[in-house]
Amino acid sequence: MNILLILVPAALLLGLIGLAAFLWSLKSGQYDDLEGAKWRILNDDDLPEDERPEHRDGGSEHETRSHMG
Amino acid sequence: MTTAERDWASFAEPDGDGRLAMELAVDGIHCAACMTRIEHSLAAVPGVERARVNLSNRRVSVSWRPDETDGSAIVSTLADIGYDARPFVRGQIDDSFRRERNALLRALAVAGFAAMNVMLFSVSIWSGNATDITPETRLLFHWISALIALPAAAYAGQTFYRSAFGALRHGRVNMDVPIALGVILALGLSLYGTITASADTYFESALMLLFFLLLGRVLDHAMRRRTRTFAENLAALRADTAVVIDSDGTLKERPVNEVPSGALVRVAPGDRVPVDGVVVEGRSEIDQSLVTGETILQSISVGAPVYAGTLNGEGALTVRVEAAGAGTLLDEVNRLLDRAMTARSRSVALADRVARYYAPFVHAAAFLTFLGWLALGAGVERSLVVAITVLIITCPCALALAVPAVQVTAAGAFFRNRLLLHSGDALERLAGVDTVVFDKTGTLTTPSAQIANLSELPETLVAAARALAAGSRHPVSVAISAGPKPSSVASDLRETTGFGVEGLIDGCPSRLGAPAFVGVEAEAAALAARYPDATLVGVRVEGQAPAVLAVQQVLRSDAAQTVAALKGRGFAITILSGDRVPAVGRVAEALGVIDWRAGLKPADKIAALEAMQGEGRRVLMVGDGLNDAPALAAAHVSISPVTAVDVSQAAADVVFLGDRLAPVPMALAIGRRARRLMGENLGFALVYNVFAVPIAVTGHVTPLIAALAMSASSILVTANSLRAQKVPREMQVASPQSSSSASIGETVVAT
């Protein structure tokens, strides 16, 4: 049963890390725009110019895309 | 006259580094493409430091260096790419909602973390109890559980303790009282068990209870926040600003609530009057249908009082701002509103009614259990433990979720049907309604006037009339020119005040205006019999037969179907209007409503409602005007269209969007369904107690049973509540087509 002396603190530590990570993300405003966040992952702006896919350019995309329902 | 400059100090806030920051409500953000487009366009404006779109609440926050650019450049950039953006007034956004949400989420996270880790030990103990756990290991696990559970429960349960304490201090009992008591007793008993090295503790039950309840609160909060955010955006887009004439003669656009009494305000032709006051310069005609319900234009000149919400006609006015003085219409409305609001609070929410009976019942049961065990010869300690387990197991988790869970889901259904729910308990009140009272102007009819005889007119003449009307700000012209851009081109427009407009339509001399001005008195007289309430406007294009347009407020496209559908469902329908008798009579006749009254003042409307409620009827009031506001507050439950004046929207329980009346029966249907589900949920919670209480009273509750029973009942109730999402078919009014005119409506649908 001595193994508990390691396992119990390890389990609690992992839980606390998860809790701390959540509280940090909450504090840094990551839950303020859940709707926008899911689209921003598709944004290529952070890539260098030559690695971006060809097809997109500012305005034309807006017209071709129907409104999200 | 130069256009007024926005007073940016009222909108933007310095952010410390010499930059200014502001939030804008933006109409028409739908998708990721809009987000990218807006952010790119704004980033390209020199001087803009940061621009970020929030797609959840459809706002943009921008910060810029004031020496390089200003707010107008930002707003016009957005306008150039097709978005109508209006800055929020400083302090208009209520940040307390965000802080409250974050506090709830933190509590939820702590409760979740603690519940899971304590459960880890509890499961080990339960399986160990059945096999060969040593008392030392168990004691160690209990102590670790206690060390996690006590601080976590103290932190996570704050909302409940505070609310329970507040209620008790005022001598009342709410649902949080048995909750707080259950949690505190469960923790206390467990701590006692840990200290005395007993086999049973209830740490995990207390924490799971908190976790489930907090989850309910978070969802409830999210629902209220979504409605609130939307209402804030609407308010900003409606731009409650006034053009103030400063002492040096410059014009500044300021938020209405920053305009002091005594200031001079300029009201441009065709604009809504932003303040109450007295005209000091100019003459015009005023459309006050939104204020009194009357559809006839009223002439005003120097010295006449004007009210916020009325629509200015063709003349520019200068108005001296007055606070609502005694004896004015607004003063009367405010007074009646206060009285009506206090009357409303008499209706007690379902959940509180249940709590009122539930709490004494379980406390008595626990007390009797204690006495019973004592009488049967068990020791004081054993009797106390059993009595406390009764309180723990009856801790009303399912009961506390029963009503809010349905409210959250039903509010979602409201939102999808273009309805905004202001208060959750309005659902219960909607369910009990048996009488529907409509206001006429702006509620049964469209908020703005339209051409009533459009189908009888030749298309070319209508196009000509639209093109001519576009040159004038007279309310009637504005009504005519509304809609798609006319195909005809008008040039050389000249307006003769009080008569009409003349100009060239595609090169031909043309006139639009009073029948005498156009020379169509005979045709107008013929039409007057058919449209007695209409303003008749003649139009003549050289080379064509002249025509007369009847401009009046028309019924909403589905008013007749909606009223018929409501009658078919057994609702009594009444019209209470401030407009004149003939106008109201004709609308009532068209809709087949027998019970109608006209020419009512705000106090008369309240009296009529009180008479109905005195007969035991539950009244739903639907209205939009300033004169309806007290009635909206006095009725059992109330709905107003989004075009209503602010006071009325604030007094109403529900606001509906769009041009159609169909959301009204829909709200009633969703309300009824929600009320039924609440009843079912309370039934489930009751059944749970019927089984759980005898087990607890006889002393057979173990921590495992407590954890299972409490979680199962909570999950069952929550799952049942999800059924409120489905929109009931029964009340749907056959829709000719979905209206696409209101982009605000689209914003809602897109969510």
The predicted pLDDT at position B740 comes to: 35
Give the confidence band of B161 by pLDDT, cuts at 50, 70, 90.
very high
What residues of A are in the B interface, CB distance below 8 Å? Answer: 1, 4, 8, 11-12, 15-16, 18-19, 22-23, 26-27, 31-36, 39-40, 42-43, 45, 58-59, 61-62, 65, 67-69
For residue A10, the chain B residues in CB contact (below 8 A) are none
The predicted pLDDT at position B1 comes to: 40
Q: Does position B712 have pLDDT exceeding 90, yes or no?
A: no
Of A26, A36, A67, the CB nearest to B30: A67
For residue B57, the chain A residues in CB contact (below 8 A) are 33
| B586 closest CA partner among B527, B664, B526, B530 | B530
Structure tokens at B355: 């709590």
Closest chain B residue to the Cα of A68, Cα to Cα: B31
Q: Does position B108 have pLDDT exceeding 90, yes or no?
A: yes
The predicted pLDDT at position B436 comes to: 93
Q: Any idea which of B13-27, B231-245, B514-528 has the lowest mean pLDDT?
A: B231-245
Q: Does position B106 have pLDDT exceeding 50, yes or no?
A: yes
Q: Are B536 and B550 in contact (CB under 8 A)?
A: yes
Closest chain B residue to the Cα of A42, Cα to Cα: B32
Give the distance between the most distant pair of CA atoms in chain B: 110
For residue B140, the chain A residues in CB contact (below 8 A) are 4
Average pLDDT of chain B is: 82
Give catalytic status of residue B439 as yes or no.
yes
Of A4, A33, A58, the CB nearest to B55: A33
Closest chain A residue to the Cα of B743, Cα to Cα: A67
What ipTM was predicted for this assembly? Answer: 0.75
pLDDT digits (tens, 9 = 90+) for B265-274: 888 877 778 8
For residue A11, the chain B residues in CB contact (below 8 A) are 117, 120
Which residue's structure tokens are 């396992």? Answer: A7
pLDDT digits (tens, 9 = 90+) for B162-182: 988 998 898 877 778 888 888
Structure tokens at A48: 């260098």
pLDDT digits (tens, 9 = 90+) for B544-576: 888 888 888 788 888 889 999 999 888 999 999
Give the confidence band of A15 by pLDDT, cuts at 50, 70, 90.
very high
User: What is chain A's length?
Assistant: 69
Look up residue B623 and give its amino acid.
Answer: G
Q: Does position B751 have pLDDT exceeding 50, yes or no?
A: no
Contact A62 B37 (CB under 8 A): yes
Give the confidence band of B748 by pLDDT, cuts at 50, 70, 90.
very low
Q: Any idea which of B264-268, B360-364, B491-495, B733-737 has the lowest mean pLDDT?
A: B733-737
Minimal Cα–Cα distance from B368 to chain A, Å?
41
DSSP structural state of residue B376: T
pLDDT-above-70 percentage for chain B: 92
Q: Are B640 and B441 in contact (CB under 8 A)?
A: no
Angle at B305 between CA B232 and CA B584, to 5 degrees: 75
The predicted pLDDT at position B107 comes to: 95
Give the confidence band of B632 by pLDDT, cuts at 50, 70, 90.
confident
Which residue's structure tokens are 């004081």? Answer: B380
Minimal Cα–Cα distance from A15 to chain B, Å?
7
Domains and CATH numbers, chain B: 3-88 (3.30.70.100), 94-228 (1.20.120), 238-327 (2.70.150.10), 422-440+557-668 (3.40.50.1000), 450-552 (3.40.1110.10)
Q: Does position B105 have pLDDT exceeding 60, yes or no?
A: yes
Rounded Cα–Cα distance for residues B84 and B218 (Å): 32
User: Quick one: average pLDDT of B614-624?
Assistant: 90
The predicted pLDDT at position B620 comes to: 93
The predicted pLDDT at position B707 comes to: 81
Rounded Cα–Cα distance for residues B22 and B51 (Å): 10
Q: Any idea which of B88-92, B276-280, B535-539, B609-613 has the lowest mean pLDDT?
A: B88-92
Contact B40 A58 (CB under 8 A): yes
Give the confidence band of B749 by pLDDT, cuts at 50, 70, 90.
very low
Closest chain B residue to the Cα of A39, Cα to Cα: B32
DSSP structural state of residue B442: I
pLDDT-above-90 percentage for chain B: 12
pLDDT digits (tens, 9 = 90+) for B315-357: 788 888 886 555 566 677 777 777 766 655 555 677 777 877 8
Q: Does position B295 have pLDDT exceeding 50, yes or no?
A: yes
The predicted pLDDT at position A54 comes to: 58
The predicted pLDDT at position A67 comes to: 42
CA distances from B29 to A40, B325, B412, B713, B736 (A): 15, 42, 20, 41, 27
Q: Catalytic residue, from B27, B176, B220, B439: name it.
A: B439
Q: Does position B681 have pLDDT exceeding 80, yes or no?
A: yes
The predicted pLDDT at position A60 comes to: 41
User: Quick one: average pLDDT of B643-671?
Assistant: 85
The predicted pLDDT at position B734 comes to: 46
Q: Does position B730 have pLDDT exceeding 70, yes or no?
A: no
CA dihedral B711, B716, B718, B722 (to 10 degrees): 160
Q: Does position B61 have pLDDT exceeding 80, yes or no?
A: yes
Kindly give, in sequence order, each residue whose CB lies less than 8 Å from that of residue B163, ignoring residues fewer than 6 positions away. Answer: B174, B176, B180
Neighbours of B343 (CB within 10 A): 14
User: Quick one: average pLDDT of B611-617?
Assistant: 89
The predicted pLDDT at position B653 comes to: 87
CA distances from B446 to B78, B434, B527, B548, B643 (A): 30, 25, 21, 21, 10
Look up residue B449 and give its amino acid.
Answer: A
